[in-house]
Structure 1
Amino acid sequence: MPRFQRQVRVRVANRTMYLDVYAEQERVAFELDGAAAHGDPRQREIDLRRDALLATLGILVVRFSHRRLVHDPTEVRREIVAILDRRRSPQ
């Protein structure tokens, strides 16, 4: 696993956002979503709009639920490594 930056501040479209975990070289933000806030359909819409804004900067947003992080950390780690490997390889 590479070293990740945490709570990285990003400005886009006159908005300031904070990325939970950021792999700068690969331009991937990993968001760690809790069920309380992110289970609400309104919050989901806000997340989708935020992710679209970050995509305009070339940042891929990957979201993991708290439940997956707790109950399946090995699979989450495997997915993160695969995503980062793919982003590093020539397209």
Structure 2
Amino acid sequence: MEKLKFLETMTINEFKSQKEVKAIEVKQNPHTGKCFFVYGCETGAVSDKFINGEITNPVISQVCSPDTGDMFYMLHQKGEGDCMTLATL
């Protein structure tokens, strides 16, 4: 599997405002152990680092899988992805 392509990254508040939702719920599939998030009637992926408590500065990105072309939203640690964050101004 190739690395995901990060298309757009936003803060949690920016995402909630854009999607017009008041809350985002992170849930865990009891059968697979994988986490996902729910916003309104939609779902998104959650980085595996979430379950280990490694997400201290969460953001949501629209990502694309180079293998399938599928686009989806993923909750992950800020700076995780194609580029490292050097500064926040």
Q: TM-score, normalised by structure 1?
A: 0.30
Name which structure has the greater RCO, CA cutoff 8 Å, separation 6+.
2
- Name the structure with the higher strand share: 2
- Name the structure with the higher helix share: 1
